[in-house]
Amino acid sequence: MTEAEFIAAVLRNPINVTILARLPELEVQDAWLVSGALFQTVWNVMTRRAPTYGIKDYDVFYFDPDTSWNAENDVISRAKRIFSGVNAMVEVRNQARVHLWYEHKFNTPYPPLSRATDGIDRFLSHNAQVGIRRRDGGYEVYAPQGFQDIADMIVRPNRTANFGADRYLEKAERWKTAWPETTILSA
């Protein structure tokens, strides 16, 4: 799968198109639509399902060095207004804050990040390590592992410092239920 084919498939999902069009209205730096909204849309296109089938939520990552809850809450409030007409759950999170709550929630340390794409790098599986945003009249894609696992419908563990086999398997099993064509590699 080429980057152009990936983009074309992602844009078959009208929710992705709407989010990407409205993302600049958040007025935050380094904002990306990430992960499941993207690779699951591609899987849906490949398997001839509705483009929005099985997508639980649409995650937006951004990076703001202001790690206060108030700053992130202001962005979340703006996002609720901006995406209010979107018939899906859009979750917006400042990647500069993740290290402040992650260990408490998942019992695993999480280092401070320096940009939104660092959060993409830490997804539990390679197929999830993708992000897209509008840029200079087109689209910029961040895919550190490329597109092969997405194209082959392979869920492969990403053994970063925050990797948790239980959480990986929980996600993989949910995806396998929705997309039985997937191949899940052991944790």
Tell me the whole-structure pTM to 2 decimals.
0.94
**How far, CA to CA in Å, does 158 sit from each of 10, 115, 119, 141, 185?**
22, 19, 12, 19, 11
- Cα–Cα distance measured from residue 130 to residue 158, given in angstroms and rounded to the nearest whole number: 13
Does the structure show a pLDDT above 90 at 101?
no
Alpha-carbon separation of residue 62 from 80, 115, 187 (angstroms) = 15, 8, 28
Q: What is the pLDDT of residues 127-166, one digit of tens each?
A: 999 999 999 999 999 999 999 999 999 999 998 767 778 8
Q: What single-letter DSSP state applies at residue 23? A: G
Question: Average model confidence (pLDDT) for the chain?
Answer: 94
Q: What is the pLDDT of residue 161?
A: 64
pLDDT at 48: 98
Res 25: pLDDT: 95
**Angle between helical axes of 14-22 and 36-46 (0-180°, round to 10):** 150
> What was the pLDDT predicted at 165?
86
- pLDDT grade for 109, boundaries at 50, 70 and 90: confident
d(CA 50, CA 40) in angstroms, rounded, equals: 11
3-state helix, strand, coil in the chain (%, to 5): 45, 15, 40
